[in-house]
Amino acid sequence: QQQVKQSPQSLIVQKGGISIINCAYENTAFDYFPWYQQFPGKGPALLIAIRPDVSEKKEGRFTISFNKSAKQFSLHIMDSQPGDSATYFCAASREYGNKLVFGAGTILRVKS
């Protein structure tokens, strides 16, 4: 119940294309869903986060779509750029629980 399943493991997208990464969770107590971006040799950096009271959140080229009934959320990267090439982790946590449960990660490569 604590797992967050992330897919795909790796993704290759052409420059200008849309990158889509999906995550699914079991624990209905989760109420905070962040996405982290990690470049090689660096720590993860928060990209965007959503709470279950909204179905979509957009920040620049990055959009989270959230489906509470299906217990799924996804990251869309519009107009993908080579600089977006990184590993992306979805995560989930519950209020007062403090523990972030991470997905396995997706290695994104954007070809120029």
Q: Which of 78, 56, 69, 75 is nearest to 25 (CA)?
A: 69
- Residue whose pair of structure tokens reads 């999906």 in the numeric block: 22
Asked whether the CA dihedral 108, 67, 64, 53 is positive or negative, the reply is: negative
25 lies in the site for another protein, by CB under 8 A: no
98 lies in the site for another protein, by CB under 8 A: yes
Where does this chain touch another protein (CB under 8 A) — which range of 18-26, 40-48, 61-69, 75-83?
40-48
Q: Which two tokens stand for residue 30?
A: 């989760």
46 lies in the site for another protein, by CB under 8 A: yes
R_g (Cα) of the chain, nearest Å: 13
Where does this chain touch another protein (CB under 8 A) — which range of 14-22, 66-74, 75-83, 101-109?
101-109
Q: Give the footprint of another protein on this chain (CB under 8 A).
A: 31-32, 34, 36, 41-46, 49, 51, 87, 89, 93-100, 102-105, 107
